[in-house]
Amino acid sequence: MLAFKIFPQCMCNSDEKIMQTMDFLVNKLGWESEAAARFPNIFSLSFEKRVVPRCSVLQLLRLRGLIDDMPCLGTFLCPTENWFKEKFVVEYPDDIQAELLDLYERRVNVVDFRTMAVEDVKSRS
């Protein structure tokens, strides 16, 4: 109900798209469902081109210890691509910047970072 009050257009999205996004954010990444409800415009974003790549970048930063806590969903999903790259890719050291950019621009399949050990991430480098 909160999502509809904030962004009524979210009801224009298919049930499948909403469920796909919620499943990814809540079950795969561990976000609270209320976090998504506060930013219902995220259901209008491209799942494959925006949600997955940006979440993957932030999860990698978190696993590497470069950020302590995940920012709120609206902070990193809603802004422009240039802003996101400046804030979450370009500002990091060159050694990880290349990996972040590669991860972001490849728009790879969903990676469940919650089950991946930090050593596994380091071995991919």
Residue pair 55/23 in contact by the 8 Å Cβ criterion: no
Note if the pTM is more than 0.95. Answer: no
3-class secondary structure, 72: coil
pLDDT digits (tens, 9 = 90+) for 8-28: 555 666 778 888 888 998 888
Residue 88 scores a pLDDT above 80: yes
Tokens representing 115 are: 């089950």
DSSP string over 58-103: HHHHHHTTS-SSPPPHHHHHSS-HHHHHIIIIITS-HHHHHHHHHH
pLDDT digits (tens, 9 = 90+) for 47-73: 888 998 999 899 889 888 999 877 888
Residue 108 scores a pLDDT above 80: no
pLDDT at residue number 72? 85
Mean confidence (pLDDT) of the chain: 77
Tokens representing 7 are: 């962004």
Instruction: Name the nearest CA neighbour of 54 among 42, 66, 40, 39.
Output: 42
pLDDT digits (tens, 9 = 90+) for 32-49: 888 887 888 888 888 888
Tokens representing 40 are: 């219902």
Write phi, then psi, for 53 (nearest 5 degrees).
-60, -40
For the chain, give every domain's residue range. Answer: 2-123
